[in-house]
Amino acid sequence: MSRADDDRLFEMRLRRSHADLFDMLDRLYGAHPRYDAFRADLVAVLRRNWQARPKDLKWLDLERDLEPDWFQRPDRAGYVFYLDRFNGTLQGVLEKLDYLEALGITYVHFMPCLQPRPGDSDGGYSVMDYRAINPAYGSMADFEAVTQALRARGISVCVDMVLNHTAKEHDWAVRARAGEARYADYYLMFDDATLPEAYERTLIEIFPEHAPGSFTHYPDMGKWVWTTFNEHQWDLNWANPDVFLEMVDIMLHLANRGAEILRFDAVAFMWKRMGTKCQSEPEVHMLLQALRAACRIAAPAVIHLEEAIVGPAEMIPYLGAGEHAGKEGNLAYHNSLMVQFWSALATRDTGLMRHVLKTHFPTSLPNATYATYIRCHDDIGWAVTDEDAAALGFSGVLHRAFLSDFYDGSFPVSFARGELFQYNPETGDKRISGSFASLAGLEAALETGDAWQIDRAVDRILLGHALIAGWGGIPLIYMGDEIALLNDYGYKTVPEHAHDSRWVHRPRMDWARAAAAMTGGDTPEAKVWHGTRAILAARAACPELHGAVPTEVLDAPLPGLFAHRRAAPAGPLICLYNFTAEWRHLSARWAGDAGATRFTDALSGGQVVPEHGMIALPPYARLWLR
């Protein structure tokens, strides 16, 4: 492609997304005194990054312009890991490409890998330099080499880009602290406590145990600084157009290094408004649409995953709603699906799950889909609203407390082994940490040596993997869940981790266990590995699981059964899940009325033969009926 053709393509894409970009920026920054200069600077940044984009990535841009649904296809399956805990470094990833490919992975998320501040960095989310890789993992050249190798195998790389804050050691913060007015305006700083105290009246504490409050006083500066998460994480001032400009430049820099999915961290907190909780304000969605439009101009192969762990009513807009429909995030975490999985397991009743997923979530989304998961690097917050609980006749407060007690193992007859995270005695909020396998009962079952309980724990794990694979979207497997890694209590001996129970579910990858699991056998890890691999392979072969196909929650006739229909044009897929440890018998007529016609199981490939008009479902059964 000639330089003239290259320039013409840029202009075409600029015209395509011009309104999506500048309609938002006009509203956000139109009254700013340097707005006209900002607009010119932004186009220059977009053009410069496009001109610097490697040729192979420009071809990928063109391919994805022609196949815009690439990320919605059922062969997409994700794997999430910390580089140091996976195989040490970026170069170490190259040694494990066969493993990822064998599992059926086509998307990998390198947990925070940009250069963090020294010491406690909130797991890497306190970024000191967005343009450098954490030196413990390698260099930016290593990152480019690894992304290229993964891309050659059809595996896309996702990286974190923290939007709400930087580390206080970031160059912008250092210069702000030194008194440079330009950079002081990159952050939210106050001369006295008057405004911080006014804001605090409606803010929600994120880490009440070890980082209470949302502001930090620095006597050496004579300033109060907005620090939503930790003292070392300074919130950015997105009302300043220069912050937007800087972040667009960084975003495109990472895209040009080979990142194909940008996970925008902590997006809900980006815009501040007095008298609110300063989460999910309308301007947040304007900013995210504008960032998406900028990417479509200069790096259209890249999609955006927006990390907003909020209630359903707040979450859906991050995938584009109203004026932002089809124009904002391409992916957002389906936090409610995860929460409802654990809730239904504990209660052995799917009524709340059915109500929440049917009431609050659309059956399909334009140009977007969910990132589905059962576990991740973070804690589990029990996002069950009082209103949803009341709709089913029980107390939200008591239910949330029950779930915390069940999953920390203190509730009688609980199978789980977890740990509390950030208990807030004022609100009663208790979140939970723990690995998938330990929360699902494998740790406790292995302690007793009860073979039946061990098998049920394995079934619970595979039930979860089947649920996220069959819902639609991109299922994300957290490192080690495919081989049933247990809690790692060694974090308590590491000073920078001891205060944070989330490290209990961030163990180092056990490659000996993985190798043994892959060879097969009767061990829990072998059953989970081969079962997970089979689920992902079955998913890839199901056109009904394309992200654009509607998901319709069904009213299953049994309290422990959850059912939904993938309403594909060529015929539906009926997904059934038994959330109890008992056999259940479902009317074949009900399944037929729901749309099942051939009674083949797309998960196993086998035929389902009703007996006396009933379909037998074993404990924790998972069935995808055609």
Residue 68's CB: how many other CB atoms inside 10 A? 12
pTM (two decimals): 0.94
Pairwise CA distance, residues 434 & 412, whole Å:
18
Confidence of residue 1 (pLDDT cuts 50, 70, 90): low
- Check residue 285 and give its pLDDT: 97
Does residue 121 surpass a pLDDT of 70? yes
Mean pLDDT for the stretch of residues 35-51: 97
Pairwise CA distance, residues 302 & 311, whole Å:
27
- pLDDT, tens digit, for every residue of 372-396? 999 999 999 999 999 999 999 999 9
127-133 and 114-116 strand pairing: antiparallel
| Buried/exposed code over 472-487 (b: 16+ C-beta within 10 A; e: otherwise) | bbbbbbbbbbbbbbbb
Reading phi first (left if > 0) and then psi (alpha if -120 to 50, else beta), residue 415 is in alpha
Mean pLDDT for the stretch of residues 492-499: 90
Does residue 209 surpass a pLDDT of 70? no
Region of poorest pLDDT, from 32-41, 311-320, 555-564: 311-320
Q: Which residue has the tokens 């690097």?
A: 377
Bridge partners, residue 615, by sequence: 586
Tokens of 261: 């999915």
- pLDDT, tens digit, for every residue of 254-296? 999 999 999 999 999 999 999 999 999 999 999 999 999 999 9
Mean pLDDT for the stretch of residues 603-617: 94
Q: Among candidates 277, 256, 259, which has minimal Cα distance to 268?
A: 277
Confidence of residue 230 (pLDDT cuts 50, 70, 90): very high
- pLDDT, tens digit, for every residue of 440-466? 999 999 999 999 999 999 999 999 999
Q: Do 544 and 364 form a contact (C-beta atoms < 8 A)?
A: no
Does residue 147 surpass a pLDDT of 80? yes
Does residue 200 surpass a pLDDT of 70? yes
Mean pLDDT for the stretch of residues 525-538: 98
Angle at 106 between CA 502 and CA 482, to 5 degrees: 45
Does residue 352 surpass a pLDDT of 90? yes
- Check residue 522 and give its pLDDT: 94
Distance from CA of residue 100 to its chain's centroid?
A: 19
Comparing 212 with 39, the larger pLDDT belongs to 39
Pairwise CA distance, residues 147 & 156, whole Å:
8
Which residues does the annotation mark as catalytic?
A: 265, 307
Pairwise CA distance, residues 289 & 300, whole Å:
14
Give me the helices (H) in 415-550, please. 436-439, 442-448, 451-471, 511-519, 524-540
Does residue 51 surpass a pLDDT of 70? yes
Mean pLDDT for the stretch of residues 561-571: 95
Q: Identify the three-state secondary structure at position 563.
A: strand
Task: Give the mean pLDDT of the chain.
Answer: 95
- Check residue 309 and give its pLDDT: 76
Give me the helices (H) in 472-567, please. 511-519, 524-540
Domains of the chain: 1-65+242-333 (no CATH), 551-625 (2.60.40.1180)
